[in-house]
Copies of this chain bind each other. A is one copy, B any other.
Amino acid sequence: MAKITKVSPLAPAAFPDLPAIDGVRFATIEAGVRYQGRTDVMLAVMDPGTSVAGVFTCSATRAAPVLDCQDKIGGPSDGPAAILVNSGNANAFTGHYGQTSVAAVTQAVATATGVPVGRVFTSSTGVIGEPLPHDRIVSQLEALKAGLSMHALEDAAQAIRTTDTFPKGASAQVEIDGKTVSISGIAKGSGMIAPDMATMLVYIFTDAKVEQAALQQMLGAQTDRTFNCITVDSDTSTSDSLLLCATGASGVDATGDAAFAEALENVMLNLAKQVVRDGEGATKFVEIRVTGAASDTDAKVHGLAIANSPLVKTAIAGEDPNWGRVVMAIGKSGAAADRDLLSISFGDILVAEKGWVSPKYREEAAAAYMTGQDLVIAVDLGLGEGMSTVWTCDLTHGYIEINADYRS
């Protein structure tokens, strides 16, 4: 099991002050699913009228809780809703026993809280291939219910961590028709892995009122521009899940409201960037801006090819302005590129243009820029109007240590 020795150097100074969301209460507990001496289960209960939207991993080997959530999203929306998350065991690749565990946990939540079982969503994150000791969770449900509070969002962010080096939260408030609507979200993921794989879990709550179909549509589009634009190592968990819950308790209908949509996207992007900042072994946070591509899709393909290239990532770790590796990554991506129209910048430094090193380029200036902690690599394809921005971190000895040097 990977040992977490210190907080990521890219971590924010402190957990943010998240506004409580009217209509949602949280509780956490030490259930001893796998970890000892820390909380490992969180329960959220939402009032009747809450719309729940969700996006999930595209993995063909996704875990039982993910399959259960996918079945339920978009279903009957009467009554209250609940989310239960455990850390320490992913209930993934556990055969038919995985569904048995999900059924046991969701039924227990329904019984304890009065939430219809069709509105109980669960996630599990941690070791895979081991049966989930779901009795340890079931036996804590009365205590969890008794502890529900509007003000336990940071506790929830702590309980869902596996080996993240810091808890992740973000919020926004917007004025709509003279009233304040709040959005608060928490996330875990891409932190150090123990012992199997990083899973990204995200839960976002708002007191705005948004009809479920509209909420789901907005969430899908925004996920493509936020969580689907980050990468640490190109590997995808079997359990990635994002749930967005709109309680409507503010009485403000935010359906189709542009300011609300923007605020929500900002919360998602903030959480997504925090996941990258907790990337395994990360010492640099890198923004890859691609413009001038034949299409937005092509731009994203190029951006992710650069962001996932081990040679680009190790060059960044080595503070080496190795633009040749960026050219290589663009060339291999499969999306349209013309070598002789390509330009590349590191920060404000124009490195290459028209298929060759810029006559103004001085290696010393670029090398000095690469010593920074937050870096921007900009690529212009010179082909069209397509653009995309993706975010990643460097590939360091820390990544190897976390994933190779310790046995599960």
A interface residues with partner B (beta carbon < 8 Å): 57-62, 92-97, 127-130, 193, 195-197, 233-238, 308-311, 314-315, 317-320, 322-325, 327-333, 335-340, 342, 352, 354-357, 367, 394-397, 399-400, 403-408
Contacts and interface: CB of A to CB of B under 8 A. Distances in A.
Given A310-B399, A331-B62, A404 B315 contact: yes
B93 A330 contact: no
Given A60-B336, A340-B95, A407 B320 contact: yes
Contacts of A330: 60-61
B94 A356 contact: yes
B332 A235 contact: yes
A97 B332 CA distance: 22
Q: How many copies does the complex hold?
A: 2
Contacts of A328: 59, 61, 196-197, 235-238
A315 B193 CA distance: 12
Given A196-B322, A395-B400, A59 B331 contact: yes
A320 B95 contact: no
A61 B93 contact: no
A128 B311 CA distance: 14
A404 B93 contact: no
A318 to B, nearest CB: 4
A400 B96 CA distance: 41
A233 B234 CA distance: 12
18 contacts: A60-B330, A60-B331, A60-B335, A61-B327, A92-B324, A93-B327, A94-B356, A95-B355, A233-B311, A235-B309, A236-B328, A237-B328, A238-B327, A238-B328, A317-B400, A367-B407, A397-B397, A397-B400
B129 A318 contact: no
Contacts of A62: 331, 339
B339 A93 contact: yes
B357 A129 contact: yes
A191 B397 CA distance: 19
A136 B315 CA distance: 30
A11 to B, nearest CB: 22
Nearest to A354: B95
- Candidate in A93, A233, A367 with the most chain B CB atoms within 10 angstroms: A93
Given A60-B333, A129-B323, A238-B331, 5 more contacts: A60-B335, A60-B337, A234-B310, A310-B399, A320-B407
Contact of A318 (B238, B315, B332, B403): B403
**By CB atoms of chain B within 10 A, which of A310, A356, A406 has the most?**
A310
Nearest 7 pairs between A and B by C-beta? A61-B331, A59-B331, A95-B356, A318-B404, A314-B403, A236-B332, A314-B404
A317 B405 CA distance: 8
A324 B197 contact: yes
B396 A61 contact: no
Nearest to A323: B129
Contacts of A405: 318
Contacts of A197: 311, 324-325, 328
B403 A356 contact: no
Contacts of A331: 57, 59-62, 236, 238
Nearest to A127: B324
A400 B403 contact: no
